[in-house]
Amino acid sequence: MTTTPSRFVAVWRKLPIVHQVRQSVGLQRGMLVAGLILTGIFLLTALFAPLLAPYGFSQLRDDEGSFGAQVPPGGQHILGTTVGGYDVLSRVIWGSRTALLVIVVAVALSIFAGVLLGLVSGYLGSWIDRVLVVISDAVYAFPTLLLAIVAAIAISGGQSSFWGGVFAAAVSITVVYIPQYFRVIRAETVRIKSEAYVESAKVIGSSTPRIMFRHVFRNATRTLPLIFTLNSSEAILTLAGLGFLGFGIEPSAAAEWGYDLNKSISDVTSGIWWTSLFPGLAIVLVVLGITLVGESLNDLADPRLRTRRRADQSAPVLETAALSTVDLDGDVNSIDPLEARS
Amino acid sequence: MSNIVEIRNLEVTFATDGGDVKAVDDVSLSLAPGEVLAIVGESGSGKSVTAKSVLGLLPETAVSRGAIVLNGKEVIGMSGKRLRELRGVDVAMVFQEPSTALNPVFTVGWQIAEGLRAHGNVSKREARTKAIEILRKVGIPEPESRVDYYPHQFSGGQKQRVVIAMALVLEPELIVADEPTTALDVTVQAEILDLLRRCRDEFGAAIILITHNMGIVADLSDRVAVMYQGKLVEEAPAQQLFDSAKHPYTQKLLAAVPRIGSGASRAAARVSDRAAAGGEKDVEPVVIADNLEIEFPGRFGRAPFRAVDRVSFTISPGEVLGLVGESGSGKTTIGRAIGGLNKITGGSLSVLGHEMLGFKERQFRPLRSDIGFVFQDPASSFNPLLTIAQCVAEPLIVHGKAEDPNDARGRVDELLEAVQLPRAFGDRFPHELSGGQRQRASLARSLALRPRLLIADEPTSALDVSVQAKVLELFADLQRDLGFAALFISHDLAVVDMLSDRIAVLYKGQLVEEGVGSEVLGNPQHPYTQRLLASLPVPDPREQTERREALRALTAVDY
């Protein structure tokens, strides 16, 4: 408090994730850091897959000949090979790339449509709102995986290519997630619509689009990073589910964890553990990592859920005694030395 | 006789995101049986924290040091179980907001009985009998049937009576009342204060009363403790404090309390000013309401709710009309209708020559630059993601007077200076300003386009007394300099009296009295106005005792 940090440090401390890590304490910090580490490993693996993977994802032989099927871990193949004769480690590493791509495409597609529809629907209300809500409820009523399967078939048309597969998975996830983003943004917009600052914009004479995008939009999207992380982990699960059911990407087009799991079903009963364990572990760890990040961010953003360090008995105390009350927005940072003096 | 509570060198520290904050610093207080101690101070002064620590009701982030001895028992460091045994029996709490202090899904009888059951084995029938008895004692009519009512079936004042009944049922020796009347109307407030007085006289309970209203302090308390920034700055018997306050902060606080009767001379001065300025007698009023009606559609199968019922008034250019009434009287609805936020359903309302019946936003929009609006809650009337300068620049940008916030910055700086805020505040975000500062910025925004009409909807009701005085003064200065007409809406007669040329009193949607301030307040005609005026507690214990008798006489005639 007493020493003024340098400009660089000050900026660094305000960066989104860094800020939250500094803010957290105890178990919450542990969860957040664990999640960040897992997610970081996932991202790095996906980015540097060509450097990390010993073989290609569809490689069946090298200079010394064919790999052979179901080779146990050790030697040339650290994690063994699959029933199809692929190297397990390489498939797992390349698979992270597919997973990341699907997340990016799925979230990018659903977030824009969902946010825009939610904003329009929530702010304008009337019949548009009712129609959109009914449609999104109808989508909710479908089992998500079933909907994803239908979308996957419709898009790929039974053909399988890398981008076709990625898009089929991404679009099918999109269909399921647009209603989620729509719902969240609409609820926020309806709440913000009655806030005094929106009314004050109205009495100033601001046009409807200006109110929507300058005043409502940015305030309504504050919770998006949280839904984003939580949905990413669900996107991976949906992708794996699609692959497991045989609607994913063919092994020659890209590595995909769900597909590998599917092919290893028969191995499990015959004592070949390595073909199912590692892709499964990859799915679990990535989903766990992203969920941990999402949940901790969610808790930290809410002052009622955020745990704080207990007041230190010996530490020096701020000069002012002006205490803010926690307002509904969740802003507790209005502890203001000027409050008491004004 | 030993004291009920002894607070010795209490210190409470909160862990917050901004570091540790000491909310209460070395406070020592004591309270004898049957005594009423008022703790006053502005928000953030630590008065609530002090009182709540007596019940051990502090959040986990708080650390308290010192000693609180309640009936010979040390409260600080007490285990949860022992604290629960203590609460209700030795000390009970009356909360600020009666509508949230009661659980909406249980009957009030059940909720009163819950306290009884928590402290001993009481049969259902016994508990019910006791609940009925206590409801009768706090003045709920027909307690035998109303014991089975749900909280929403009571009015706000009755709900507060129920909350007080819950506090009284175990006959505690100490009641902590945290702003017990802040959420209530003035006329109801007087009744609740009467009830609290009876709590002391009939039940013999000592009361710690937390309030920021000096009138209530004068009405009820025996002794007053003044807190400022976590410290106890003065403690004295009530009469002595009001007669000769020692600490400069107390003096400032007492001076800031608006008093009825201070406005008459100001209004007269303004009228003569305006006459001197050119005697614009025959100018068309900026607002003409003629038999104005506003109805809100009822739920399916129910009659619509009539919020405003055949109200007629005018506001001339440069004139300040004060609109007074209790909650639900329709005063805010009228203000919002003039600002084009509510549609009117009958009669006629002409704002700056534009008829609001059959209102179309598109036609009205050009006129909006001539209307300023100050909202009640300064905390929410700014977009939290824009800086103050950007917020104040909004009207200029919307009406094409500036390209972007940077372009408007010169004018914004002028405006901020006009409301006595430093220029540098323009770069701050709304949450970095205090309530009073935000409300001044709000005033700057509403005046950005030099409007001819300003609507101020309870602009100071969320502020502390000392801050309120400054904002009101600023408002009066700006009004004099810029000469805009204003509709000033408030529930506080004294505040309206300070600023207004004329005062209109609303009661249940109807205009019951309208006239020059000195007439309405000096010689009220309508019984409601009389009661409203008599209910207002004045910050002087001696005078307040007389007024209390007068009010009793008045209400005795009424019922």
- From B343, B338, B300, B312, select the one nearest B509 (Cα to Cα): B312
Within an 8 Å CB–CB cutoff, is residue A331 touching chain B?
yes
Cβ-defined contact of B437 to A338 (cutoff 8 Å): yes
3-class DSSP assignment, residue A269 = helix
- From B217, B185, B96, B86, select the one nearest B541 (Cα to Cα): B217
Rounded Cα distance between A286 and A39, Å, is 6
Rounded Cα distance between B333 and B414, Å, is 32
Instruction: Evaluate if residue A255 carries a pLDDT over 60.
Output: yes
Confidence of residue A37 (pLDDT cuts 50, 70, 90): very high
Say which residues have a Cβ less than 8 Å from residue A54's Cβ, sequence separation at least 6: A78, A87, A89, A90
Q: What is the least distance, in Å, from the CA of B16 to any CA of chain A?
A: 7
Q: What is the least distance, in Å, from the CA of A305 to any CA of chain B?
A: 12
Rounded Cα distance between B192 and B38, Å, is 16
Within an 8 Å CB–CB cutoff, is residue B541 touching chain A?
no
Tokens of A149: 């399967």
Confidence of residue A337 (pLDDT cuts 50, 70, 90): very low
Q: What are phi and psi of B381, to 5 degrees?
A: -90, 5
pLDDT of residue B380: 82
pLDDT average, residue stretch B380-404: 84
Cβ-defined contact of A195 to B380 (cutoff 8 Å): yes
For chain B, give the mean pLDDT: 83
- Structural contact between residues B480 and B273, judged by C-beta atoms closer than 8 angstroms: yes
Say which residues have a Cβ less than 8 Å from residue B370's Cβ, sequence separation at least 6: B352, B449, B451, B452, B453
The nearest alpha carbon in chain A to B249 belongs to: A341
Predicted-assembly ipTM surpassing the 0.90 threshold: no
- From A171, A173, A176, A165, select the one nearest A247 (Cα to Cα): A165
pLDDT of residue A34: 92
- Structural contact between residues B138 and B195, judged by C-beta atoms closer than 8 angstroms: yes
Strand residues in chain A grouped as ranges (E):
61-62, 65-66
Place of tokens 């901004």: B18
Confidence of residue B539 (pLDDT cuts 50, 70, 90): confident
Q: What percent of chain B has pLDDT over 70?
A: 94
Does the domain at residues B264-537 carry the CATH identifier 3.40.50.300? yes
Tokens of A305: 């859920």
pTM for this entry? 0.74
Strand residues in B276-345 grouped as ranges (E):
287-296, 305-315, 320-324
Count of Cβ atoms closer than 10 Å to residue B429 Cβ: 18
Confidence of residue A248 (pLDDT cuts 50, 70, 90): low
pLDDT average, residue stretch B135-164: 86
pLDDT of residue A320: 40
Rounded Cα distance between B296 and B290, Å, is 19
- Count contacts between A and B (CB, < 8 Å): 148
Rounded Cα distance between B193 and A298, Å, is 44
Rounded Cα distance between A307 and A20, Å, is 12
User: Cβ-count burial of A237 within 10 angstroms (0-12 exposed, 13-18 middle, 19+ buried)?
Assistant: middle
pLDDT of residue A329: 36
Place of tokens 């760890």: A285
Within an 8 Å CB–CB cutoff, is residue B182 touching chain A?
no
pLDDT digits (tens, 9 = 90+) for B475-488: 888 888 888 888 99
Stronger pLDDT, A36 or B432, i.e. the higher one = A36
Instruction: Evaluate if residue A342 carries a pLDDT over 50.
Output: no
Could you give the C-alpha distances from A200 to A178, A209, B294, B359, in angstroms and in order? 31, 15, 21, 18
Stronger pLDDT, B302 or B331, i.e. the higher one = B331
User: For chain B, how many residues are written?
Assistant: 559
User: Cβ-count burial of A316 within 10 angstroms (0-12 exposed, 13-18 middle, 19+ buried)?
Assistant: exposed
Place of tokens 């548009």: A128
Rounded Cα distance between A69 and A246, Å, is 21
Task: Give ∠ CA A112-A115-A116 in degrees, rounded to 5.
Answer: 80
pLDDT average, residue stretch A236-242: 83
Q: Where in chain B is the domain with CATH 3.40.50.300?
A: 264-537
pLDDT of residue A330: 36
Stronger pLDDT, B380 or B132, i.e. the higher one = B132
Please report, in angstroms and rounded to a whole number, the separation of the first and last CA atoms in chain A.
Answer: 23
pLDDT of residue B559: 42
Confidence of residue B318 (pLDDT cuts 50, 70, 90): confident
Confidence of residue A181 (pLDDT cuts 50, 70, 90): confident
Stronger pLDDT, B397 or B281, i.e. the higher one = B397
Q: What are phi and psi of B59, to 5 degrees?
A: -65, 165
* A130-134, B64-68, B303-307: which is most confident: A130-134
pLDDT digits (tens, 9 = 90+) for B497-534: 888 888 898 888 888 888 887 788 888 888 888 888 88
Residue A311 has its nearest CB partner, among B44, B63, B383, at: B63
pLDDT digits (tens, 9 = 90+) for B70-105: 888 888 877 888 888 888 888 888 888 888 888 889
- B445 neighbourhood in chain A, CB within 8 Å: 200, 204
Cβ-defined contact of B431 to A333 (cutoff 8 Å): yes
- Structural contact between residues B163 and B98, judged by C-beta atoms closer than 8 angstroms: yes
Cα B219 off chain centre by: 17
pLDDT of residue B470: 83
pLDDT of residue B182: 78
3-class DSSP assignment, residue B205 = coil
Q: What is the least distance, in Å, from the CA of A336 to any CA of chain B?
A: 7
Rounded Cα distance between B85 and B76, Å, is 14
3-class DSSP assignment, residue B83 = helix
pLDDT of residue A304: 65
DSSP state of B173: S
Q: Which of residues 443-482 of B touch A (CB under 8 A)?
A: 445, 467, 470
Which pairing describes strands B73-74 and B502-507: parallel, antiparallel, or unpaired?
unpaired
Amino acid letter, residue A339: E
Q: Which of residues 2-41 of A touch B (CB under 8 A)?
A: 23
Rounded Cα distance between A273 and A264, Å, is 9
Place of tokens 């960040």: A36
Say which residues have a Cβ less than 8 Å from residue A334's Cβ, sequence separation at least 6: A324, A327, B431, B432
- B379 neighbourhood in chain A, CB within 8 Å: 327
DSSP state of B33: T
pLDDT of residue A226: 74
Cα B198 off chain centre by: 24
pLDDT average, residue stretch B215-234: 87
Stronger pLDDT, A298 or A311, i.e. the higher one = A298
Which run of H or of E encompasses B25? strand B19-31
pLDDT of residue B361: 77
Q: What percent of chain B has pLDDT over 90?
A: 0
Amino acid letter, residue B41: G
Task: Give ∠ CA A196-A198-A200 in degrees, rounded to 5.
Answer: 65
Cβ-defined contact of B433 to A318 (cutoff 8 Å): no
Confidence of residue B346 (pLDDT cuts 50, 70, 90): confident
pLDDT average, residue stretch A46-75: 78
Place of tokens 């009669």: B347
Say which residues have a Cβ less than 8 Å from residue B160's Cβ, sequence separation at least 6: B94, B98, B180, B181, B183, B184, B188, B192
Residue A338 has its nearest CB partner, among B63, B382, B434, at: B434
pLDDT of residue B268: 66
Which pairing describes strands B305-315 and B287-296: parallel, antiparallel, or unpaired?
antiparallel
Instruction: Evaluate if residue A156 carries a pLDDT over 90.
Output: no
Instruction: Evaluate if residue B453 carries a pLDDT over 80.
Output: yes
DSSP state of A240: H
Please report, in angstroms and rounded to a whole number, the separation of the first and last CA atoms in chain B.
Answer: 42
Confidence of residue B543 (pLDDT cuts 50, 70, 90): confident
pLDDT digits (tens, 9 = 90+) for B252-265: 888 888 777 666 66
3-class DSSP assignment, residue A104 = helix
Instruction: Evaluate if residue A336 carries a pLDDT over 60.
Output: no
pLDDT of residue A310: 62
Within an 8 Å CB–CB cutoff, is residue A199 touching chain B?
yes
DSSP state of A211: I
- Structural contact between residues B453 and B479, judged by C-beta atoms closer than 8 angstroms: no
